[in-house]
Amino acid sequence: MSMNNSINVSGLLRFITAGSVDDGKSTLIGRMLYDSKNLQVDQLTAVEASSKKRGMKEVDLSLITDGLLAEREQGITIDVAYRYFATPARKFIVGDSPGHLQYTRNMVTAASSADLAIVLIDAESGVKPQTRRHLYLVHWVGVSHVLFAVNKMDKVGFSEDVYQKIERECVELAQSIGYSKIHSMPVSALDGDNITSRGDRLSWYEGPTLLEYLEQAPTVQDFSHLPFRFSVQRVMRLNRQNIQVNSGFDGADLRGYQGLVVSGEVSVGDEVVISPGGHRAKIKSILGASRRFIDSALPQESVTLFLDQDYDVSRGTLFTDVNNPMLSSNEFNAELCWFDEAPLDLSRTYLMKQMSKATRVRLEAINELVNVETLERTANHLSMCMNDIGQVSLKTQTALSFDSFKSNQGTGAFILIDEVSNRTVAAGTIQ
């Protein structure tokens, strides 16, 4: 989806690995970096030395991304590691994410900025509970494209039967969660089969190698066809005292609105609705990152907008398409994922942050929780614990403008912050 971090150009693919513990996520990334010659000499020397120190005969490729002391001690991934590499075809940002249940929120962190998720399955053991959990969360957080990599094919004699059985299971699972287009392929990350080259042990497989696949995968979502949404991050008030030297501005009093075009696009002269309030104004001018005035702005572009009229506009105010207003209410439902060790307390209020707007929120009810292993939904819950996901009803202190997450990820997403611990305790998608 790539709403996060805005990098959404066709020459760049952001992807993550997901799947259960020990299904080979870090090894897969390590293998891909190694075989595509994206490891520098000193990185390789360091990994070789670390492997030797740990008494391994061969180079442990998972050490390339498992960079923390605690990770190397335990041989696991705790938090996402981002790696940057390139082939002649395109650039890649890969997030290698942890498989342990305890660190699920770190996988979600990685997935929230990805265009694509590679879900690894161990060919020996097939789909595991944590595979189901990851797939469910990857879909919930907005990753529209998944690839199943059936790994450790070397352990099952490169059997086509084993692969096909797992593939059927994956397709069924992905469809039940809501994916329509599903791809899969057999690989051996440890030995490098079908990662950057096919090898000769998977002769029955006719599809692309993993790297070929990633080089051609769509860098998803184009937000330009959605209605215009702009969230004011900061109000700039110019006067004679606060003007940059040599800026070319003369010091006239001026109010500009700094922020990100969340979706759609906007041109000079367009009429917009200011929300809250519902007043209308026209875009007088647009100041781009180039420090020049531009005639229009694209989705995910950071700009400063000037209006033809002065209304009450502050941080969190939205400018929106006059023909496609946002929903506005202080009560709504959301699919919430709880991250924190301290469970949800229905008697408390939390701070909700949606784009640049922060407001206090109370959770009125937990309508149902999802069992991510069976996809069963059950009612009558009084709290949510770490990694629980389910539908809740929320009530905000001030009215909120939003779209459903399904129709607009930028305006339909929020996080919850505990005002005492300041921890990010949950994230939600508005329904």
Site string for other proteins, 162-201 (x = CB under 8 A): ----------------------------------------
Stretch that binds other proteins, among 40-48, 150-158, 161-169, 305-313 (CB under 8 A): 40-48
Site string for other proteins, 271-310 (x = CB under 8 A): ----------------x-x-x---xx-x-xxx-x------
| β-strands 302-307, 296-297 pairing | unpaired
User: By C-alpha distance, which of 234, 239, 259, 258 is closest to 249?
Assistant: 239
- Is 91 one of the binding residues for other proteins (CB under 8 A)? yes
Does residue 184 sit in helix, strand or coil? Answer: strand
- Looking at the Cβ atoms of 159 and 407, the one nearer to other proteins is 407
Cis peptide before 276 (omega within 30 of 0): yes
Q: How far apart are CA 381 and CA 198, in angstroms?
A: 50
Q: How far apart are CA 128 and CA 187, in angstroms?
A: 18
Contacting other proteins within 353-382 (CB under 8 A)? 353-356
**The residue to which tokens 């075989």 are assigned:** 35
Q: Which of 57, 58, 200, 244 binds other proteins (CB under 8 A)?
A: 244
Stretch that binds other proteins, among 143-151, 169-177, 208-216, 244-252 (CB under 8 A): 244-252
Measure the CA dihedral 394/395/398/403, to 10°.
Answer: 40
CB 297 within 8 A of CB 266: yes
Q: Which of 197, 216, 267, 329 binds other proteins (CB under 8 A)?
A: 267
Contacting other proteins within 123-152 (CB under 8 A)? 141-142
Q: How far apart are CA 301 and CA 289, in angstroms?
A: 8
Please state, as a whole number, how many other Cβ atoms lie within 10 Å of the Cβ of residue 245.
4
- Looking at the Cβ atoms of 156 and 283, the one nearer to other proteins is 283
- Is 395 one of the binding residues for other proteins (CB under 8 A)? no
Q: Which of 21, 35, 36, 43 binds other proteins (CB under 8 A)?
A: 43
CB 233 within 8 A of CB 315: yes
Site string for other proteins, 312-351 (x = CB under 8 A): ---x-----------------------x-----------x
Contacting other proteins within 217-236 (CB under 8 A)? 224, 233-234, 236
Q: C-beta of 431: minimal distance to other proteins in Å?
A: 17
DSSP conformational letter for 347: T
Q: C-beta of 176: minimal distance to other proteins in Å?
A: 24
Q: What are phi and psi of 384, to 5 degrees?
A: -125, 135
